[in-house]
Amino acid sequence: MPRRRYSHYASDIARVSLPSVLVRHACRVFAFASLEAIRQDIRVATDLLFVAAHFSHMGLSSSYANSLQRYELDGADAAKEFLDREGVRHTHSSAVWDAISLHTTPGLPERMGGLTRFLAYGVRADLFGDGIDRFSVTQKEAILAEFPRGEDFANSYLEALGRGIAHRPETTFGALSADVLERYSPTFYRGNFCGRVLGSRWERNSGDT
């Protein structure tokens, strides 16, 4: 656990705002991300990484039940506002905003700074098991003992994500969360990029030019 005071506040906010499955997920994300940074011998501000992990799903909380933004942006905005209130330097709070807002974008985090890269890695490690063979059995057992996945983490996680985005299906266009609504919402209609281009106002009015 990082020693900065605001890290403890971030943990408290997550616990009262999010279901336990997401809180434990955030703790494991932080642990895996921190271990990977150590393994690569890259210095990362662990207090900022801790906040990023705990706010990465804040957009799924009841506070954003009427939001029409992608949940990642809500979490990024919430984290930056929190850090700004705590007097954290703008460059640091902006780095956390970048990490949360971009960490689910395929192929991008690996090209970004350490905070974004390792947050994304921690999420992939916990959700998909990516790279967990890099750690010892003892390390993995210690993380899971303190922050257990539970009997049905995968479905519980996806259901929590689905509940948090069900009211804003349009924000899933081009995003991984579209897969979640396709699974959990019987009324969800997946947007199609080709259809939007071919059905644009330019195409519909092409005979007028």
Domains and CATH numbers, the chain: 5-167 (1.10.3210.10)
Q: Which amino acid is at 177?
A: S
Packing angle, helices 5-17 and 46-55, rounded to 10? 10
Residue 108 contacts by C-beta under 8 Å, 6 or more apart in sequence? 102, 116
Rg of the chain in Å (alpha carbons): 18
- The pLDDT value given to residue 124: 96
Q: What is the distance, to the nearest Å, from the Cα of residue 72 to the centroid of all Cα atoms in its chain?
A: 6
Give me the pLDDT at residue 109, please. 86
Percent of the chain with pLDDT over 90: 79
Q: CA nearest 105: which of 73, 80, 148?
A: 73
Query: pLDDT, tens digit, for every residue of 104-160?
Result: 998 888 888 889 999 999 999 999 999 999 999 999 999 999 999 988 999 999 999
pTM, to two decimals: 0.90
Counting every residue written for the chain, the total comes to 209
- Mind listing the pLDDT tens digit for each residue in 163-208? 999 999 999 998 999 999 999 998 998 888 899 899 888 887 766 5
Q: How far apart (Å, rounded) are the C-alpha atoms in residues 13 and 9?
A: 6
